[in-house]
Structure 1
């Protein structure tokens, strides 16, 4: 016996006879009983009318009963279809859950294992990183504090240097500005005198104009002489003799320059050793004060 594709049927409820159907059955029995009797001739017409009325009522009731039966069958079929659909869904889901591990192939299993390994690796790396962070937290705090103190110290020193440097920078800037201003004013004065000589050389000037012209020429000559004197002083400063300043270190020997120029092998090492020995043999105090003599006789 083949299985119903719609699923197992739901057991039907017991049919209970309705009062209308019972009345119809009684009317049919009464009609059959009436047909079995032979009435008299004078009552034939009345019996025929009764039979026709009974048949018409029977047809109406049969039609109504047929409609109700069809409606009841449709409702039962709908209930069976809903129950079968629910059963199919339930059985299909359970079957899919049970068959999923069996239908999984090798690639899917390998991919799942790979993803699991990656998650475990990331978790392990995070734990190691957190442990190292906890261990080095105190060291970082100490180093940060030390770096902060050093930065504050450098800022303080830079501020002090800046305060000490600002006045010197102002002096230097002022000198450069004055030198530039002097040069520009002298050039303007020379250009003004050249224009007046070119334009008014043949014109007779008034007393005031002549005095002003002589004053401008005098200022120009003095400025030129001052510039020439400054240049001469700079030149003499480079050529004149200056008294050297006394130093406490040992004077450089002329033989060292000769040895450096010779470039003998091992000479630099020998000089270094002699310098170290000389520094170690130096004596300080009042014991050798009498042996020291001034370097220059003034």
Structure 2
């Protein structure tokens, strides 16, 4: 019962505050309209300035409360139905066509392709490479095995020796992007083994 009384009191005070602010605003408007032409006494001037200052303070208090409400998170209560989340607007975002500008920014971000960090060029002070065309790639034969295939006895003997060994053949290939490491070299090796 005491909790209900507190809740009722807070609701009443909120309504009462709003009514008093409207009443104060109306009083000031009436005084400006009625006494704008006449000369006021010192007491009347002080009362008018006091009301003006009081109205300004209540409006500042209301704005501060709204800012505080926007920038804070409040725990949801169990008995209250959750509302749809509304993203708080910063002062710089407030204005006409905010949703349109936000949507356009999102579309531009989606359309812009990024492959690395924003500051990658600054961190890696390497030169940028030009586009490499297939005709420009020069394959270099680093090591070539001496000999010829006509020496069948040596070839048969080396094949027998390879069968005896328990070592897997490893080929390490190093090359630039787009030089055919995964397509052309395996095809070459397949053809070299299949068609002696």
TM category (shorter chain) comes to: 0.3 to 0.5
Per chain length, whose mean CA-contact separation is higher, i.e. which structure has more relative contact order (CA < 8 Å, sep 6+)? 1
**TM-score normalised over the length of structure 1:** 0.24
Pick the structure with more helix per residue: 1
**TM-score normalised over the length of structure 2:** 0.36
